[in-house]
Amino acid sequence: MSESYISRTSGLKTKDYLGYAMVDTAGCFTFALVTTLLQKFYTDVFHLSPLFIMIMFVVARVWDGINDPIMGRIADTVHPGKNGRYRRWILYAAVPLTLSAILMFFRWPGLGEAENYGRTCIYATVTYILYGMVYTMLQIPYGSLASVVTTDHHERSKLSVWRSMGAALGSIPALALASFAYAKRLDASGNPVIGENGKPITDLMYKPVITGVIAISLIAMVLLFISYKLNKERVKTKPQPKEKGAGMKAIRILFRNRSFVAISLVSMLLLAGQMFTQSFYTYLFNDYFHANWMNLASQACTYSPMLVFMFFLPKMARSKGKKEITSCGMILAAVANLVLFFLRGVAPEKLIWPFLGLCLISGFGLTVLVMQLWAMVADTIDDIYVKTGSRDDGTAYSYFAFFRKLGQVVAAICVNGALMGMNYKYEKGAVQTLENLKSMYNLATLIPAVMFGIMSILLLWAYPLSKQHVADLQVAKEQKLKEHYESKKIDI
């Protein structure tokens, strides 16, 4: 047959790109609530200590170390139904994801009161872990879906761009909620309470938060139902045999692959950096700048470069190479955040616009990696497939997802460690000191600079899949697809 196996398992239309991106839009509707608002909600509404929150997040990630690989093996070994191997999980996760997201922010009578601190801790832990398990049920099969939607690496590059755009759109509602769910604190006479820096103190309000969370979660559910209809699996993989030791064999293959380990570490730090800024900036903009609108503005600066890059980044990646352009992007992001740190002596009211301008520069650097990350993961899966013949895509994405969950741990440690280090006052009616606020700014800018700098080093010297290496992979993959199709290991 003259037509190549790669061409027979590709040919995406706009509907396919839209449907694939819409899954991440829906997922980020709820996940952005966690990255942007939940930390602030825990300290200011539930009045939980930063130490407890940090421990809770770490415990949840330890459980993910068990839960994520289980989900990956389920996706790889369960026989595909009429709805596909990975696509069907979009449908299964829709309703549970909505309910678990709402429960995290639901304040039952008595929760958040000092006399019910233990009950509040238990409720927060159970609902947070429940949401994480449901999110895993969606995200691991969704990540694996990219490998069976198309085998063409140029289409995967475009698919990664669309997914990134979908994720960025999914973050907007939570950012808007984080910007406007505040009200001025009033004293017994009804006058605004003024902090040490002479600015009125504002507090996060429960009613607008829970109203917004319910609306956002319900929209996410509808989007998942629509995206389920739009997605299609073109490579119909056979279930992996349930043989003894198969899971450990798949794990050994993954962690012996240099490209997989490197891109997993990069993704871990990327998510850590994103979550740290989104969570910690809610404190910075409320307490230091007294400008909660900056939550939405800073993220607009961070993600608006996507509107520029979406038109030519796939061509740039094809021309220069994904490894090459993403490493340059991370150097730019690191430098921009380092400059922010050195501006720490400027008065807050004079720093707002320079701060947002440097967020925009950092956003240009970050966007290159964010929009190519999932294509680089797919290249890594190809690298493993060509070298070993393994098609344990669900297992691969489960461990990749686990590294991203470790990124949440890094972010949690950095956010709550920073809050403890600056002696953040989380008790009801607390007021931050000027010294605390100066420390807050230093940590908010220096920590991302260090994270992004480490990522640029990993991409330059640890991640091996250069432009030429990826081109060679496509030739080897075509032969591997031919072998597996003829031996009936896959259907097309």
Which pLDDT value is given to residue 145? 85
Which pLDDT value is given to residue 334? 98
Q: Which residues contact 247 (CB under 8 A, 6 or more apart)?
A: 69, 73, 395
How many other C-beta atoms lie within 10 A of the C-beta of residue 254? 22
> CA angle at residue 87 from 132 to 218, to 5 degrees?
55
Which pLDDT value is given to residue 402? 85
Q: Say what the pTM is.
A: 0.78
- 17-234+245-491 topology per CATH: Growth Hormone; Chain: A; (1.20.1250)
How many other C-beta atoms lie within 10 A of the C-beta of residue 333? 28
Contact in structure between 279 and 415 (CB atoms under 8 Å)? yes
Which pLDDT value is given to residue 182? 86
* Helices 258-283 and 434-461, axial angle in degrees (round to 10): 160
Which pLDDT value is given to residue 430? 79
How many Cα atoms within 13 Å fall on the side-chain side of residue 39? Answer: 29
Q: How far is CA 279 from CA 241, 261, 306, 315, 408, in A?
A: 43, 27, 21, 34, 11
For the chain, domain boundaries: 17-234+245-491
The low-confidence residues of the chain, meaning pLDDT below 70, are 1-3, 237-247, 391, 490-492
Which pLDDT value is given to residue 1? 40
In whole angstroms, what is the distance from residue 490 CA to residue 179 CA?
49
